[in-house]
């Protein structure tokens, strides 16, 4: 198991030299090791001499070298499952940083895959839970519900600890997709663990929890009232007036789905601003009896950057100096431009995400007529000071706003909320862009991958493509993280590869399934 960063920091703070390594029985004596004088906290170091590692498309760590066993004795089935073309599948999920050091994130078999394709590593959630007052220990497992696999916590608590407060405190520190949707208070003093190594028996914990809960679809999810609407996300959890919507871990698309369901129940439109302010089930119930009001504008999307003057200003500046400056650092090699031939209308470009340099690289690689119509998505929360000046000082607002205005003017960038309300308004805005002939550039991972692996895609691009009946053009970029890594302040010259795939036409409302097709296409490019 990966060393808890807090534990590493504790011993380092006492003056001890903490040196992490990574090894397996099948790859004795060790695979990676941190250099004693060049160790990086949180990593297990670089491969030792004669050992190779790589990260599979699904994030699994693969190992090859003379120290790796040839197979399992008298067990050809297990050997065939664990070895492929000389590479040993470790069963661990990890990633490589810009220096080639390995970070272990968890076990593949323990990883929780949500309905929208995002991954949750139990250890990350447990680390937060175990830091909450009143928690003796915790175990996080994936439990099937009507909406797919959800994050569920088994809690061993101190006497008097309130489990609802514990979950609320933990969820406040977790990312949206990591939030705990259900919990079980363990009746025994401690959770089941193996002898010797003291590892959590997750399979036993999961089985016991599942045995106490109704099977997905077994309980009445069509019960009257808002409780019935929310039961899909409650994962068997009892709902009451003070149930926090935030604790249910709704993604931005989940909120859109809930809002649409609420509109169908009320027989009329719901003000998204009022919906965004609803914090509990009681707040939603209050909306049922509130008079209808005009929908407020949550996000002021830029329109000035799409007028003719701004458009030609952008084209001139991009092609006269901006992209030429980017070419000094990114030596782009492009494949697949022929896949754009014959396409007449607007498209959605979908690309993996490696760096802040991704958009200039993609603009360099696209033919001129497509380049001039691109509208890249940018994370709205990055410009929080611009959109919420009341929370910041004037200097912070000014610097953040200048960055926002430049991104909108020079790149025609579109602010898309990831955690805040306004998703439906953003989808409408993207629809307006497509109707006007613009081509949104979406990064479905939602964050930088930091290496050559492709992370799980969020379903928003599939929803846009299906509802707008617009083809998706997949793009795979490689090497941009070696030109400008997310942790660097200055770019370094290097080769970048960009491959443009054939357009994909997505139909239907299974957005999680549709986005998997796009993800698999880009992984294979």
pLDDT < 50 stretches in the chain: 215-224, 292-296
CA 243 – CA 256 distance, rounded (Å): 19
Burial of 334 (0-12, 13-18, 19+ CB in 10 A): middle
DSSP strand pairing (27-33 vs 46-47): antiparallel
pLDDT (tens digit per residue) in 450-485: 778 888 888 888 888 998 899 999 999 999 999 998
CA 223 – CA 233 distance, rounded (Å): 14
Burial of 470 (0-12, 13-18, 19+ CB in 10 A): buried
| C-alpha distances out from residue 400 to 204, 358, 404, 511, Å | 50, 20, 6, 34
CA 138 – CA 136 distance, rounded (Å): 7
pLDDT at position 361 is: 97
Identify the CATH number of the domain defined by range 110-216.
3.30.300.30
Identify the CATH number of the domain defined by range 5-107.
2.30.38.10
Domain boundaries, the chain: 5-107, 110-216, 304-523
Domains 5-107 and 304-523 share a fold: no
pLDDT at position 372 is: 94
Query: Which pTM does this prediction carry?
Result: 0.63
pLDDT at position 220 is: 39
Question: Tokens 């609420």 identify what position?
Answer: 262
Identify the CATH number of the domain defined by range 304-523.
3.40.1130.10
Would you say 55 and 451 are in contact if contact means Cβ atoms under 8 Å apart? yes
pLDDT (tens digit per residue) in 322-351: 999 999 999 999 999 999 998 988 999 999
- Both tokens assigned to 371: 């380049």
pLDDT at position 398 is: 95
CA 387 – CA 400 distance, rounded (Å): 9
pLDDT at position 336 is: 96
């Amino acid at each position: 198991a990966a060393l808890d960063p807090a534990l590493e920091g504790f011993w380092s703070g006492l003056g001890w030299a903490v040196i992490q390594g990574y090894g397996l029985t099948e790859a004795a004596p060790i695979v990676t090791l941190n250099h004693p004088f060049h160790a990086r906290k949180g990593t297990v170091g670089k491969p030792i001499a004669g050992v190779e590692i790589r990260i599979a498309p699904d994030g699994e760590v693969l190992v090859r070298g003379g120290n790796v066993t040839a197979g399992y004795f008298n067990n050809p089935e297990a050997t065939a499952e664990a070895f492929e073309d000389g590479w040993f599948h470790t069963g661990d999920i990890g990633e490589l940083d810009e220096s080639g050091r390995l970070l272990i994130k968890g076990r593949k078999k323990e990883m929780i895959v949500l309905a929208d394709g995002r991954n949750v590593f139990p250890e990350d959630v447990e680390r937060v839970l175990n830091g909450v007052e009143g928690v003796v220990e915790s175990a996080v497992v994936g439990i099937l519900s009507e909406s797919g696999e959800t994050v569920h916590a088994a809690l061993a608590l101190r006497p008097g600890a309130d489990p609802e407060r514990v979950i609320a405190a933990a969820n406040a520190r977790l990312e949206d997709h990591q939030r705990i949707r259900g919990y079980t208070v363990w009746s025994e003093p401690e959770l089941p663990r193996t002898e010797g190594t003291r590892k959590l028996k997750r399979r036993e914990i999961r089985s016991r929890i599942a045995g106490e809960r109704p099977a997905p679809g077994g309980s009445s999810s069509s019960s009257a009232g808002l409780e019935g609407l929310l039961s899909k996300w409650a994962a068997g959890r009892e709902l009451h007036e003070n149930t926090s919507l935030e604790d249910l871990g709704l993604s931005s698309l989940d909120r859109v789905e809930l809002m649409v369901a609420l509109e169908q129940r009320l027989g009329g439109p719901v003000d998204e601003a009022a919906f965004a302010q609803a914090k509990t089930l009681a707040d939603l119930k209050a909306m049922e009896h509130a008079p209808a009001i005009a929908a407020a504008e949550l996000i002021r999307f830029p329109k000035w950057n799409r007028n003719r003057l701004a458009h030609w200003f952008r084209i001139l500046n991009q092609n006269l100096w901006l992209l030429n400056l980017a070419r000094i650092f990114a030596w782009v090699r492009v494949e697949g431009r022929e896949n754009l031939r014959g396409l007449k209308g607007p498209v959605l470009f979908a690309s993996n995400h490696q760096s802040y340099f991704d958009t200039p690289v993609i603009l360099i690689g696209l033919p001129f007529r497509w380049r001039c119509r691109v509208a890249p998505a940018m994370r709205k929360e990055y410009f929080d000071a611009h959109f919420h000046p009341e929370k910041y000082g004037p200097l912070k607002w000014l610097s953040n706003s200048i960055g926002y205005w430049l991104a909108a003017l020079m790149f025609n960038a579109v602010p898309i909320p990831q955690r805040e309300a306004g998703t439906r308004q953003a989808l409408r805005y993207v629809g307006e862009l497509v109707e006007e002939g613009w081509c949104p550039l979406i990064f479905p991972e939602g964050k930088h991958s930091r290496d050559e692996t492709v992370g799980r895609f969020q379903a928003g691009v599939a929803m846009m493509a299906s509802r707008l009946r617009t083809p998706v053009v997949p793009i795979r970029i490689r090497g941009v993280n070696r030109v400008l890594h997310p942790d660097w302040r200055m770019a370094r010259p290097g080769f970048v590869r960009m491959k443009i795939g054939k357009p994909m036409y997505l139909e239907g409302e299974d957005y999680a399934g549709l986005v998997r097709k796009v993800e698999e296409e880009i992984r294979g490019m």
